[in-house]
């Protein structure tokens, strides 16, 4: 695809963006370039590549043709200027912050996050001298109050995992702009089919491509998408982007590469020195998954709506946290920001508490008990005993993963079959029938 991506619809971009028939073989599907390294034309060509004076492939840790197609495609779907793929969503988070942070720097994060992210921010990032301050995603003023002269970024999930809190990206973008820092948005849960944060004021978008982009529960991957409009020179907070880089003979990434400098640095420094590179095979698998993203996401949303309505009326269920329901405090904002739907992951609170949650996940037969979301298969997990068990109970409650909470990721099976399995499992776990009446 050589024409302006803006001329095409989302479904067309999901199939064609970044890809052309292979020039050597004519293969229409993007080949898997399963190679570690690439032959140089001559010494000058090699020198130009190593000096970042020309683009091309050196070593698959840095770039690879299969991965490059994937990066272009996801950037097109999100409306970004460039992207950097990584081995996982956690790797994408780390590499993004590596572009921004130095020892002693801080960032402000939503307190409603995937438990592994909270642990990464609280336990691992401080080893690099990076400190997270947490704020309430439903209250943009709490982010404003947390800003200091050490703040280098604001981080949120567009829809929080696991409890579906919708972040007001427009309001948080205004806070970030006043602070002179980028707004980073993890858009894994809705996918770009349902929501595009860059259009609402985010500066950088992150995905765990393991989830809805790949969509089939078979390949790990992460990606950083650059919006291309952040002014790195508006203050002196980002010397890693604006000052000469010794390793590349004084290159200034923001100056030399302009609106894709963040992505170039993520590869030239993050992938080169840390090495969390995506494999070409996984890139190929995720590319194939993305081709059906629009079809899958609509089915995910439609089924999730039906399952959530059923569970809201179940006698064993105390509450359902799903922005697609009128009972959600986030419903109005979700409808405005995500008119196609709010995703297919949500939480429920069981009247029987922790023990009922454990029994429920073990009683499901069709719905799989595992630690993932965004699969074609419906998935269930009890966060307090698994994904969020590293946190104390207060942290679990703050993250929306208290002892009574069960997370569901609704797949592509027949909705009535999903409902029937959950109904029998709830009866087994809690001894309650499906009607609350």
Q: What is the dihedral of CA 409, 414, 415, 419, to 10 degrees?
A: -90
Q: Where are the domains positioned within the chain? A: 8-290, 294-430
Residue (of 71, 42, 123) closest to 283 by Cα position: 71
Per-residue pLDDT of the chain (437 residues; tens, 9 = 90+): 655 566 899 999 999 999 999 989 999 999 999 999 999 999 999 999 999 999 999 999 999 999 999 999 999 999 999 999 999 999 999 999 999 999 999 999 999 998 889 999 999 999 999 999 999 999 999 999 999 999 999 999 999 988 889 999 999 999 999 999 999 999 999 999 999 999 999 999 999 999 999 999 999 999 999 999 999 999 999 999 999 999 999 999 999 999 999 999 999 999 999 999 999 999 999 999 999 999 999 999 999 999 999 999 999 999 999 999 999 999 999 999 999 999 999 999 999 999 999 999 999 999 999 999 999 999 999 988 887 777 788 888 877 788 999 999 999 999 999 999 999 999 999 875 554 43
Distance of alpha carbon 408 from alpha carbon 418, whole angstroms: 11
Which residue is listed with tokens 């090495």?
Answer: 275
DSSP codes joined into one string, 378-398: -EEE-GGGTTTTTS-HHHHHH
Q: How far is CA 389 from the centre of its chain?
A: 21
Q: The tokens of 112 are what? A: 């409603």
Beta-carbon-side half-sphere exposure of residue 272 (alpha carbons within 13 Å): 14
pLDDT of amino acid 163: 82
- Domain 8-290 - what CATH class? alpha beta
Residue 250 burial (C-beta neighbours within 10 Å; 0-12, 13-18, 19+): exposed
Assess contact for 88 and 210: CB atoms under 8 A. Answer: yes
Considering the domain 294-430 in this protein, what is its CATH number?
3.90.1150.10
Distance of alpha carbon 263 from alpha carbon 350, whole angstroms: 44
Q: How far is CA 19 from the centre of its chain?
A: 23
pLDDT of amino acid 433: 54
């Amino acid at each position: 695809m050589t024409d302006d991506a803006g001329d095409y619809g989302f479904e067309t971009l999901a199939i064609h963006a970044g890809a052309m028939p292979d020039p050597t073989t004519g293969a229409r599907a993007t080949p898997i370039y399963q190679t570690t390294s690439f032959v140089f034309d001559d010494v000058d060509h090699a020198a130009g590549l190593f000096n970042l004076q020309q683009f091309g492939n050196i070593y698959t840790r840095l770039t690879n043709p299969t991965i490059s197609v994937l990066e272009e495609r996801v950037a097109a779907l999100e409306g970004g200027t460039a992207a950097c793929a990584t081995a996982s969503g956690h790797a994408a988070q780390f590499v993004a912050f590596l572009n921004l942070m130095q020892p002693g720097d801080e960032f402000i994060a939503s307190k409603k996050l995937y438990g592994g992210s909270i642990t990464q921010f609280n336990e691992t990032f401080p080893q690099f001298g990076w400190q997270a301050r947490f704020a309430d995603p439903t209250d943009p003023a709490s982010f404003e109050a947390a800003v200091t002269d050490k703040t280098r970024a604001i981080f949120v999930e567009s829809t929080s995992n696991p409890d579906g809190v919708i972040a007001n990206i427009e309001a948080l973008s205004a806070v970030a702009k006043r602070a002179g820092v980028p707004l980073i948005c993890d858009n894994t849960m809705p996918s770009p089919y349902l929501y595009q944060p860059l259009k609402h004021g985010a500066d950088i978008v992150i995905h765990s491509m393991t989830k809805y982009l790949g969509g089939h529960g078979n390949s790990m991957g992460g990606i950083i998408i650059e919006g291309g409009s952040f002014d790195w020179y508006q203050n002196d907070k980002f010397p890693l982007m604006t000052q000469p880089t010794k390793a590349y003979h004084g290159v200034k990434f923001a100056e030399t590469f302009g609106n894709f400098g963040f992505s170039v640095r993520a590869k030239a420094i993050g992938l080169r020195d840390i090495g969390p590179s995506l494999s070409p095979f996984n890139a190929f698998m995720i590319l194939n998954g993305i081709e059906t993203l629009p079809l899958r996401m609509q089915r995910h949303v439609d089924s999730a709506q039906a399952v959530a309505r059923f569970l809201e009326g179940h006698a064993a269920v105390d509450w359902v946290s799903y922005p697609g329901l009128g009972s959600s405090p986030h419903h109005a904002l979700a409808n405005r920001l995500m008119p196609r739907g709010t995703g297919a992951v949500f939480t429920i609170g069981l009247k029987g508490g922790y023990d009922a949650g454990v029994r429920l996940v073990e009683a499901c037969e069709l719905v799989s008990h595992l630690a993932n979301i965004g699969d074609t298969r419906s998935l269930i997990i009890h966060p307090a005993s698994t994904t969020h068990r590293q946190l104390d109970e207060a942290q679990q409650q703050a993250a929306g993963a208290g002892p009574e909470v069960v997370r569901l990721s609704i797949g592509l099976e027949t909705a009535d079959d999903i409902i029937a399995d959950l109904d029998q499992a709830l009866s087994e776990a809690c001894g309650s029938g499906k009607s609350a009446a």
